Amino acid sequence: MIRPSCLLASALTAGTLLSTAACSNGGGDGGAARTDSSASPASTVPASPVAEEPGAASPSPSASVRVLTEAEARSALITNSDLGSQWDESKGVAAWHDALLESKVDASAFVTDKGDAKECQKLLDGLYKEDLLGKPVGASAVTGFDDSDNDAQMRYEVASYGKNALDDQMKWLSTLPDVCDQFTAVNGKGDRQTVQVTETQLPDVGDARQGLQVTMSGELEGDPETLTLDFAAVRVGDSALSLTNGGLSGTQHQSTEQAVQAGTTRLKDVLAGKSPAPTQG
């Protein structure tokens, strides 16, 4: 039986819950965390000329995009001081990440609308690949935390995407509780999971926000297991913070709210050219 404890990954690829550097560097004192940069640290970049369908992994066009630099993205990351004393620097990817999230939707159960099955598959793929907000423009920064008391893990990311791209993704995410609601997913070993998607409330912060909770209940290698994950995203201008939080022992939604609240304040400060205030205690 695969347990929910975090496993130290020697080489994590894109698609694991945490990036390589996030496992080794993100955490308690706000130290170095992984940053990805596909553009030079200019203040704006031209918009993509081609619009994408909602749920796609590329940004939609906008007049211009305020791109975070690597230093700004790193400064906007939260630390475990923003979450509570039970959260520590992550030691690696959780075993349930690949075992459950790398699953295929049972499309045969979608009798009336096969297109809904594709949307639900996008949701699972986005959770597995960690790109539910699409492809960042410019730099991004990622960090991660473990809650050993509750066998939970949080992955937290800050990046620029463009206002239009983010609004498209937020709109798509908001449809998933209705479109997906409840469906069946099957992992590579044939384990079947009943997946439920509901909307969650987030603090009234940022320019736009969306919260989801995804529950996967069934068997994992012959034993009953239930994975519960919060997903939260908040747009501030052309940038956004996003996170997943949860595990096989449930999710502490209060920690999701704390991360959203503190993270939005930090991102606003960074975009305003300020240094985020140190987290108190």
Amino acid symbol at 31: G
**pTM, two decimal places:** 0.80
How long is the chain?
281
Residue 22 CA from chain centroid, whole number: 13
Q: pLDDT confidence of 73, banded at 50, 70, 90? A: very high
SS (H, E, C) 207-271: CEEEEEEEEEEEEECCEEEEEEEEEEEEEECCEEEEEEEEECCCCCHHHHHHHHHHHHHHHHHHH
Task: Output the pLDDT for position 260.
Answer: 98
Where do the structural domains in the chain lie, given as residue ranges? 68-271
Strands 65-66 and 44-45: antiparallel
Residue 30, judged by CB atoms within 10 A of its CB (0-12, 13-18, 19+), counts as buried
Q: 56-70, 111-125, 210-224, 257-271: which range is least confident on average?
A: 56-70
215-262 pLDDT, tens digit each: 999 988 888 999 999 999 999 999 999 999 999 999 999 999 999 999
Average pLDDT, the chain: 82
Domain 68-271: give its CATH code.
3.40.1000
151-187 pLDDT, tens digit each: 899 999 999 999 999 999 999 999 999 999 999 999 9
Q: 62-76, 116-130, 251-265: which range is least confident on average?
A: 62-76
pLDDT higher for 190 or 58?
A: 190
Q: 31-35, 45-49, 144-148, 181-185: which range is least confident on average?
A: 31-35
